[in-house]
Chain A
Amino acid sequence: MSAIVRGVDRALLAAGEASRLVEVRTLVALVIGLRLATRDWTLVADRPAVLTSNLTVMSWLPAPLPASVLVALQVAGLAAVALVVAGRAPRAGFVVAWSAYLVLTALWGSSGKVMHNDVLTVLVGLVLVLGPVPPRRGTGRVPDDARWGWPPRAALAVIAVVYLFCGVQKLRVSGISWVTSDNMRWVMLQGTSPFGDGFTHAVANLPLLPSLLAAGALLLELSAPVWLAVRVARIPFAVSVAVMHTSIWAFLGLDYSAWVLTVAAVAVPLGLPRGLRLLDVRARHVPTILGISHPARRTGTPAPTTVGV
């Protein structure tokens, strides 16, 4: 047991590439920016205080906040995301973007039930808020270091724990009957599919398929730590998560796109081989997609060999 703990600790503290951390921060910032940009946050101002629940860490805020304050938060958050993506003031930019996102999503969800749609993005963003930021680009190649390695791995750990407990709670509350009973059939029949009731009813009433879908979802959730611990399994996990949440949207109409994008923002860069960049964030202002970086050629010095992310 202690050997496992030591192994996990050693893996957490292994040196990592600064450019990989910049990639993850940039992609998570883009997810936050997408969420900030695609909602009319002024709708929160329509909810009177008497219908505003004290369910979040932001419940100390007066309700309702004026629409002008909500728009100011949205604009500040989007401007901060732009700073992160451009590589200007990346620390302050990320803190402002995440804080604006935290406040707005907390207010949005203060309606009587804890909303999970943005929880994963907020938690992963918190890791990156609390982690270090590599020096600005233009200062030459930043040597690999434990400081750049642990934040993306901590983000992976948070994702793994969140998915694991989504599965664990199903087993704690319902046991294996969550899979073996007609549970998933009834879940589907109580949902609101964007494709209409006919689609949901057709799938829900097929023999075995609802239980197979339930088994697949539960297995994926419970095995998340294993998928995310192994580099080559991280991208397949991101794809599997996308398939699961897309099916939830298709059958139930629930939007968990922020979970899909957050998993992709962390697991895909960390699933790539060392040296293969998803975003060439170190050398150029405008990120390019999937380029091979050649740090030795660019800097004229050999790249150190370390345990990579």
Chain B
Amino acid sequence: MDDTATVPEAPRPDRRARVRARVVTYGLVGVLVVGALAKVEVWPLTSFHLFSAVRTGTSVGLELVAVADDGSRAPVVLDPAHPVLVTTAHEFGDLPGATPADQRRMVAAWLDAAHVDPADVSAVRLERVHRLADPDGVWHEDARELVTEVRP
């Protein structure tokens, strides 16, 4: 843990100080190790999976698409200038499992975050998009499938 020098031995710390030091240090390190090995994700306790999976030239993502009465489609793009709302895109995958009432509330919130008037939208589709990269690393859409559809 530390470099040491040839010096006279320091006074032995009192028992309470030793116990406190050990409980905090080994306790916190132990919790971090167990949390990481058990894949616990209760922030700030996390399993520290940062880019741990191998990326390839294929990718799969979820997208919301707003469909108007005339059938025209437009992607629901959450405001990139709003760092809190834009990250709620990570919750797109929760939409199919939500209750119908929550699905409508979630879709309404995302339309609002994308500055889209719900009056102009007849349905919001959650779609799974498969992409492939060409040899130069430019991504192209390969396939798209409907996951669920919500009427706001």
Q: Which of B3, B56, B89 has the most CB of A within 10 A?
A: B3
Q: How far is the CB of B71 from chain A (nearest CB, A)?
A: 28
Q: A145-B17, A147-B13, A308-B5 are in contact. List 8 more A-B contacts (CB 8 A).
A: A13-B21, A44-B84, A56-B44, A111-B87, A122-B44, A169-B47, A178-B54, A307-B10
Within A171-219, the residues touching B (CB, 8 Å) are 172-174, 177-178, 181-183, 185-187, 189-190, 201, 204-205
List the B side residues contacting A50 at CB < 8 Å: 102, 105-106, 109
Q: Is A243's beta carbon under 8 Å from chain B?
A: no
- A164 to B147 Cα, complex, angstroms: 38
List the B side residues contacting A53 at CB < 8 Å: 91
Measured CB to CB, the nearest residue on chain B to A52 is: B88
**In the complex, are the beta carbons of A8 and B1 less than 8 A apart?**
yes
**In the complex, are the beta carbons of A123 and B52 less than 8 A apart?**
no
Q: Is A239's beta carbon under 8 Å from chain B?
A: no
Q: How far is the CB of A90 from chain B (nearest CB, A)?
A: 18
Q: How far is the CB of A239 from chain B (nearest CB, A)?
A: 19
Q: Sample 21 A-B pairs with CB under 8 A, ordered by A number.
A: A9-B22, A14-B10, A47-B109, A51-B109, A57-B44, A111-B90, A112-B88, A131-B20, A132-B20, A146-B13, A151-B24, A153-B1, A154-B25, A165-B32, A165-B33, A169-B52, A174-B52, A181-B54, A186-B133, A229-B2, A309-B2
Question: Contacts A57-B42, A204-B137 known; A154 to B2 CB distance under 8 Å?
Answer: no
- A205 to B57 Cα, complex, angstroms: 13
Number of residues from A at the complex interface, CB < 8 A: 80
List the A side residues contacting B83 at CB < 8 Å: 43
Q: Is B50's beta carbon under 8 Å from chain A?
A: yes
Residues of A within 8 A of B (CB): 8-9, 11-15, 43-44, 46-48, 50-51, 53, 55-57, 102, 106, 108-109, 111-116, 118-119, 122-123, 126-127, 130-132, 144-147, 150-151, 153-154, 156-158, 161-162, 165-166, 168-170, 172-174, 177-178, 181-183, 185-187, 189-190, 201, 204-205, 229-232, 305-309
- A185 to B8 Cα, complex, angstroms: 54
**In the complex, are the beta carbons of B4 and A154 less than 8 A apart?**
no
- A178 to B1 Cα, complex, angstroms: 29
- A306 to B45 Cα, complex, angstroms: 36
Q: Is B117's beta carbon under 8 Å from chain A?
A: no
- A171 to B121 Cα, complex, angstroms: 46
**In the complex, are the beta carbons of A161 and B105 less than 8 A apart?**
no
**In the complex, are the beta carbons of A182 and B53 less than 8 A apart?**
no
**In the complex, are the beta carbons of A127 and B24 less than 8 A apart?**
yes
**In the complex, are the beta carbons of A156 and B48 less than 8 A apart?**
no
8 Å CB contact of B87 from A106, A112, A178? A112
Measured CB to CB, the nearest residue on chain B to A116 is: B50
Measured CB to CB, the nearest residue on chain A to B1 is: A11
**In the complex, are the beta carbons of B88 and A153 less than 8 A apart?**
no
8 Å CB contact of A112 from B7, B53, B55, B94? B94
Within B52-109, the residues touching A (CB, 8 Å) are 52-57, 59, 82-85, 87-91, 93-94, 102, 105-106, 109
**In the complex, are the beta carbons of A114 and B41 less than 8 A apart?**
yes
List the A side residues contacting B21 at CB < 8 Å: 12-13, 146, 150, 154
List the B side residues contacting A12 at CB < 8 Å: 1, 21-22, 25
**In the complex, are the beta carbons of A11 and B10 less than 8 A apart?**
no
**In the complex, are the beta carbons of B91 and A123 less than 8 A apart?**
no
**In the complex, are the beta carbons of A186 and B57 less than 8 A apart?**
yes
**In the complex, are the beta carbons of B18 and A146 less than 8 A apart?**
yes
Q: How far is the CB of B47 from chain A (nearest CB, A)?
A: 6
Measured CB to CB, the nearest residue on chain B to A7 is: B1
8 Å CB contact of B56 from A126, A170, A186? A186
Question: Contacts A157-B1, A305-B7, A307-B2 known; A46 to B84 CB distance under 8 Å?
Answer: yes
8 Å CB contact of B1 from A43, A147, A156? A156
- A118 to B18 Cα, complex, angstroms: 29
- A275 to B122 Cα, complex, angstroms: 71
Measured CB to CB, the nearest residue on chain A to B83 is: A43
Question: Contacts A112-B88, A232-B3 known; A178 to B109 CB distance under 8 Å?
Answer: no
